[in-house]
Chain A
Amino acid sequence: MRNTVVWSPREAALVSNAGDARMCFAFARFRRQLAALTGIAIGADKQRFVERRLYPVLRANNVADLFELTQLIDRPGNEALIEEAIDAMMTNETSFFRDRAPFEAFRVRILPELMAARERQRRLRIWCAAVSTGQEAYSMAMALDEAARELRGWSLEILGTDISGAAIETARKGVYSHFEVQRGLSTTHLLRYFHREEENWRVNEHLRARVAFGQFNLLSNGADLGAFDVILCRNALVNFGPEAKRSVLERLAGLLAEDGYLFLGDAETVDEAASCFAPTPNRSVWRRRGRPRPKLALV
Chain B
Amino acid sequence: MKQVLVVDDSAVIRKVARRILEGLHFRTSEAPDGKLALAECEKMMPDVILLDWNMPEMDGLEFLCALRKLPGGNDPKVVFCTTENEVGHIARAMHAGADEYIMKPFDQNIMRSKFQEIGLV
Interface residues of A (CB under 8 A from B): 95, 100, 178-179, 182-188, 190-191, 195-196
- Asked if residues B94 and A191 are in contact (CB atoms below 8 Å), the reply is yes
* B116 to chain A: closest residue by CB: A100
**Option from A100, A185, A190 in Cβ contact (under 8 Å) with B90:** A190
- Asked if residues A183 and B87 are in contact (CB atoms below 8 Å), the reply is no
- In the complex, what residues of A have CB within 8 A of residue B90's CB? 187, 190-191
- Asked if residues B86 and A196 are in contact (CB atoms below 8 Å), the reply is yes
- Asked if residues B94 and A188 are in contact (CB atoms below 8 Å), the reply is yes
* Min distance, Cβ B13 to any Cβ of chain A, angstroms: 16
Task: Report Cα–Cα, A272/B44, bound state, in Å.
Answer: 56
Give chain B's interface residue range (CB within 8 Å of chain A). Answer: 20 to 34
Partner-contacting stretch, out of B24-32, B52-60, B104-112:
B104-112
- In the complex, what residues of A have CB within 8 A of residue B100's CB? 186-187
- In the complex, what residues of A have CB within 8 A of residue B66's CB? none
* Min distance, Cβ A3 to any Cβ of chain B, angstroms: 56
Q: A187-B94, A190-B90 are in contact. List 5 more A-B contacts (CB 8 A).
A: A100-B116, A178-B105, A186-B100, A191-B90, A196-B87
* Min distance, Cβ B107 to any Cβ of chain A, angstroms: 7
- In the complex, what residues of B have CB within 8 A of residue A179's CB? 107, 109-110
- Asked if residues B102 and A182 are in contact (CB atoms below 8 Å), the reply is yes
What are 12 sample pairs from A and B whose C-beta atoms fall under 8 A apart?
A95-B113, A178-B103, A179-B109, A182-B103, A182-B106, A182-B113, A182-B114, A184-B113, A185-B113, A187-B90, A187-B98, A196-B86
* B111 to chain A: closest residue by CB: A182
* Min distance, Cβ B2 to any Cβ of chain A, angstroms: 19
- In the complex, what residues of B have CB within 8 A of residue A182's CB? 102-103, 106, 110, 113-114
* Min distance, Cβ B89 to any Cβ of chain A, angstroms: 11
Report the 5 A-B pairs with minimum CB-CB distance, sorted nearest first: A187-B101, A182-B110, A186-B117, A183-B113, A187-B100
* A178 to chain B: closest residue by CB: B103
* B79 to chain A: closest residue by CB: A187
- In the complex, what residues of A have CB within 8 A of residue B16's CB? none
